[in-house]
A and B are shown apart, each in its own frame.
Chain A
């Protein structure tokens, strides 16, 4: 096949330009989608029942997943730090590293990723199914704004409840580290608790909450956005679910880096 080199020179910048402009348009669409949902959450009617349903679904139902993940990660973290610490004679750093590590990084990121897998997927699947079965059109014809009814409660509840879940996850994770350290590694419980608390600063706690709130907003926005974008029946529902989880997870990790830069700049 003969390739026209002159055409190729035009084709490459055009393709790159199109991809960049599509990417910028997509970001703009997501941001305006999010702002519209937040703005509408402030205007009555408020659909209180929808908020309560989401509190049960996002908050209460995610607790076991978050708790178990945090507990085992806390335990594993204590073992790893102890094992590494013995090489440097720094075993006594286990309590403070587990506590600070959990508060600053592992708590919000793990909680965010676990909830992304659970909640973002379920939001995307639910809204995408509603889209392809015309339930969202039905909402509109019944005089209800679908974004206000479906998206606003999910975004508000997830943004508020992820910091709460993360706080619970942090406590369970630190407790996991405590349990392994005292029962398996022979740490003195009083020393462990004192060492954990001594090095924790207020900034560790609020940075954890800020990160969790941002991750919560990302999770619900991605779930709702890809759900609303769905088309083409069952295939579209599957794609929306996958996209929601993949983009939520990538954005959580990316935003984690930028927030860490912002909150812990030295």
Chain B
């Protein structure tokens, strides 16, 4: 896990507040993510973990401030985050109508004319290699791939533009233990190799312990516990202890 220049804040969340109708989902969250750090957000289902990610990415409205490299993110300037980030969705969210190489190269093909089809295929094959998949699947459709392969292709798509921050929403949900282990190792390698900052949403403490430097434990939209990953298992916080024990 990377520890370079820990004082440089890449992402800052200030007084984040989100509610659906009368239900408060996120209640005055304040989070700072330093460069090169991996932050895990953990908590029971329905506690607002995925909504937090949606707020950061501008996929839902919210109250509060989100700053990326010190710049306040608004609807108009969200591109500065999109151009420098990658996101791995819970179900992969690969485009059904596009094949593997078109999915991986989507960002570079649609947002710049500098890449020809030939270049895009080459880049996609290189990315497949980075996520430990054979280049021979580059023309397969997403429906022809297993769940684990889809997650890897989605990861390849997330890192194609060399992002400096990666977001993961439940990266191992729905995968068998062996594939979960493989995906976790792949994420750790990518984060270390590419020296990227990351925010990982998960309800799996084992994955969080393996990947992250810091952990945020959310319940009912509030930060219940925030600390170093090494301190997590020894924490005396009752709710956190109960949560960790229930996942053993």
Interface residues of chain A, those whose CB is within 8 Å of chain B, are 45, 47, 126, 129-130, 133-135, 137-144, 149
List of B residues within 8 angstroms of A135 by Cβ: 93-96
Chain A residues whose C-beta falls within 8 Å of the C-beta of B107 in the assembled complex: 142-143
- Range, interface on chain B: 20 to 34
Q: How far is the CB of A231 from chain B (nearest CB, A)?
A: 12
> Lowest 5 A-B CB distances belong to which pairs?
A138-B93, A134-B93, A143-B82, A141-B87, A142-B107
Point out the residue from B82, B90, B157 that lies within 8 Å of A134, measured CB to CB. Answer: B90
10 further interface pairs, Cβ-Cβ under 8 Å (given A45-B111, A140-B59): A133-B91, A133-B93, A133-B96, A134-B89, A134-B90, A140-B82, A141-B59, A143-B107, A143-B111, A144-B111
Min CB gap A140→B, angstroms: 6
User: For window 74-118 of chain B, which residues contact chain A by CB distance below 8 Å?
Assistant: 79, 82-83, 85, 87, 89-91, 93-97, 106-107, 110-111, 113
**Considering the chains assembled together, what is the distance between the CA atoms of A142 and B110 in angstroms?**
9
B125 to chain A, nearest CB (A): 19
Contacts of A149 in B (CB 8 A): 110
Give the residues in chain A near B79, CB-CB below 8 Å: 143
Min C-beta distance of B108 to chain A, whole Å = 10
User: Does B58 have its Cβ within 8 Å of any Cβ on chain A?
Assistant: yes
B residues bordering A, Cβ < 8 Å? 54, 57-59, 79, 82-83, 85, 87, 89-91, 93-97, 106-107, 110-111, 113, 157
A141-B85 in contact given A129-B96, A133-B93 (Cβ < 8 Å): yes
Q: Main SS of the interface on chain B?
A: loop
B83 touches A143 (CB 8 A): yes
How far does the alpha carbon of A196 sit from the alpha carbon of B82 in the complex, in Å? Answer: 60
A45–B109 alpha-carbon span in the complex (Å): 11
Q: Chain B residue with minimal CB distance to A53?
A: B97
Quick one: given A142-B82, A142-B106, A143-B83, are A137 and B111 in contact (CB under 8 Å)?
no
Nearest B-chain residue to A140, judged by Cβ: B59
Q: CB-CB < 8 A to A47: which residues of B?
A: 110
Compute how far the CA of A198 lies from the CA of B74 in the bound complex, rounded to whole angstroms: 63
Q: Which of A129, A130, A138, A144 contacts B87 (CB 8 A)?
A: A138
A200 to B95, CA, bound (A): 48
Given the interface pairs A129-B96, A133-B93, A134-B93, the reply to whether A140 lies near B58 with Cβ below 8 Å is: yes
A262 CA to B58 CA, complexed, in Å = 44
In the complex, how many angstroms separate the beta carbon of A122 from the nearest chain B beta carbon? 12
What is the CB-to-nearest-CB distance from B141 to chain A, in angstroms, rounded to a whole number? 14
A53 CB, nearest partner CB in chain B, Å = 8
**Which B residues are in CB contact (< 8 Å) with A141?**
57, 59, 82, 85, 87
Give complex CA distance A134, B58 in Å.
14
Chain A residues closer than 8 Å to B85, beta-carbon distance: 141
Residues of B within 8 A of A133 (CB): 91, 93, 96
A212 CB to closest chain B CB (Å) equals 27
Least Cβ–Cβ distance between A16 and chain B, in angstroms: 23
A138 touches B89 (CB 8 A): yes
Bound-state Cα–Cα, A154 to B200, Å: 36
Report how far A211 CA is from B57 CA in the complex, Å: 42
**Which of B89, B94, B110 is in CB contact (< 8 Å) with A137?**
B89
- By a CB distance below 8 angstroms, the chain A residues around B54 are 137
B117 vs chain A, min Cβ distance (A): 11
